[in-house]
Amino acid sequence: MVNWDSAENILCIRLDTIGDVLMTTPAIRALKVSNPRRRITLLTSSAGADISLLVPEIDQVMVYDAPWLKATAPRLNSRLEYEMAEHLRHLKFDGAVIFTVYSQNPLPSAFLCYLSDIPLRLAHCHENPYQLLPDWIKDPEPEKLVRHEVRRQLDLVGTIGCYTDNERLSLRVPKEALAVVEGILQNLGIDRQRPLVVIHPGASAASRRYPPEKFAQVARTLVLDMGMQVIFTGIESEQELVAEIKKAMMTADAIAYLTNNLSSNSAAVHSLVECLKLSELAALLQLSSLLISNNTGPVHIAAAVGTPVVDLYALTNPQHTPWGIPNRVLFHDVPCKYCYKSICPQEHQECLSLVTPESVVNAACELLAATQSQECLLLTND
């Protein structure tokens, strides 16, 4: 009978988005390195699939938008679920590891694996799942503790003897993407000897968005007072947001500064909203000095490529702060914290709106000073 030590064909299930997939990669690495012959297939959502292709520990990616996830459009029937179970059965997995946040129920995924005749099935679960999860780990969250999402998943695979000395997030930036972005930076006139700051002002949930006018103050100060270069990033739906921020930046001082520096493109603020593939966004972050962002996917991409982050962290949950890199997590403490809501129930969003632009700029300058001096020290030691 197969056991976890001998299991070589493993299905990992993480049906969430970019950041969640990346925060699961240390646990996936632990599964992979614990058995050199092990093959890892990730079952993930459409939103998580593209980033999964950049994770070297994952051998195959399968896309499945499960009806028990809130972002999935309503189904007219359950045929797709039966088809997925049949497809998984044909792949003859030895075991399945189901990764969830503690507010998610693992049992629908466990039942899918049960229908697929996957003999080993592991997940956290709050209630006794009986036959659905032969390896059931009683979920201690949130009653007894709350862990970082990375630690939660590492602890899960640790129960079956899978560990790794390397707990960094995993992501490999393709050489082709790096070449494309290096060409873009050259065309923009970016001076690679000066700090390049990426600002990502969007987020899928309204409760996690720092006010645009404050992003404008941050960017204006970085450019005018600190002489830094700023690039905005985002998806197509955030074009208007970035346009609003850039418009708010244009005070008389800013216009005079930019007018006097027209001969140098690097003095300007640039937008690459909807200009980059996901792999190219990862490349841009790898080539940048710093990311300033709301708590959203690019924070975890930056962490995976080793770029410092100023994280404007709405207190909707405590588990998703930047992992394994120099960072500053900025928020204003509020009694209504950890609401897990996409829209602020109090309608004031004070956990973010009361964070001052000055504190964001100070955090950025502190991080840049610390990380750049460390880079200089490494070069000297070499």
pLDDT of residue 299 exceeding 80: yes
Which residue type, as a one-letter code, is found at position 225?
D
**Is the pLDDT score of 187 beyond 90?**
yes
How remote is the C-alpha of 109 from its chain's centroid?
22
Q: State the pLDDT at residue 378.
A: 40
What residues contact 362, with CB distance under 8 A and at least 6 apart? none
pLDDT of residue 76: 85
Query: In this predicted structure, what is the pLDDT of residue 2?
Result: 84
| Side chain identity, residue 200 | H
What is d(CA 324, CA 303) in angstroms, rounded to the nearest whole number? 7
Mean pLDDT of 18-40: 97
Closest CA to 25 of 265, 306, 379, 300: 300
Q: How confident is the model at residue 261 (pLDDT cuts 50, 70, 90)?
A: low
Please report the DSSP string for 220-277 in residue order: HHHHHTT--EEEE---GGGHHHHHHHHHHH--HHHHHHHHHTTT-GGGSEEE-TTT--
Going by pLDDT thresholds of 50, 70 and 90, the confidence category of residue 256 is low
Q: Which of 190, 191, 187, 216 is nearest to 201 (CA)?
A: 216
Q: What is the mean pLDDT of the chain?
A: 92
Predicted pLDDT at 265: 45
pLDDT tens digits, one per residue of 323-335: 999 999 999 999 9
39-44, strands of its sheet edge to edge? 60-63, 39-44, 9-14, 95-98, 120-125, 135-138
Nearest C-alpha neighbor of 305 from the set 152, 165, 168, 167 = 168
Contact 203, 295 (CB under 8 A): yes
Q: Which of 17-31, 268-282, 330-344 has the least mean pLDDT?
A: 330-344
| Phi/psi of residue 162, nearest 5 degrees | -105, 120
- With cut-offs at 50, 70 and 90, classify the pLDDT of residue 267: low
Decide if pLDDT at 362 tops 90.
yes
Does the model's pTM come out above 0.95?
no
Task: Locate all alpha helices (DSSP H) within the chain, ordered by sequence.
Answer: 18-33, 46-52, 79-91, 107-115, 149-158, 175-188, 212-224, 239-249, 252-260, 278-287, 297-305, 350-353, 357-381
Identify whether the C-beta of residue 134 lies closer than 8 Å to the C-beta of residue 160: no
Tell me the per-residue pLDDT of 65-120, one tens digit each, with 9 for 90 and over: 999 998 898 988 889 999 999 999 999 999 999 999 999 999 999 999 999 999 99
Percent of the chain residues past pLDDT 70, beyond the cut: 93
For range 195-215, the mean pLDDT? 94
How far apart CA 27 and CA 168 sit, in angstroms, is 10
Kindly indicate the confidence band of residue 263, based on its pLDDT and cuts at 50, 70 and 90. very low
Could you give all domains of the chain from N- to C-terminal order, each with its CATH number? 9-158 (3.40.50.2000), 175-381 (3.40.50.2000)
Kindly indicate the confidence band of residue 259, based on its pLDDT and cuts at 50, 70 and 90.
low
Q: Report the pLDDT averaged over residues 308-317.
A: 95
Q: What percent of the chain has pLDDT over 90?
A: 80
pLDDT at 377 exceeding the cut of 60: no
Question: CA–CA distance from 346 to each of 17, 335, 336, 337, 349 (Å)?
Answer: 26, 11, 8, 11, 7
Mean of pLDDT values over 18-44: 97
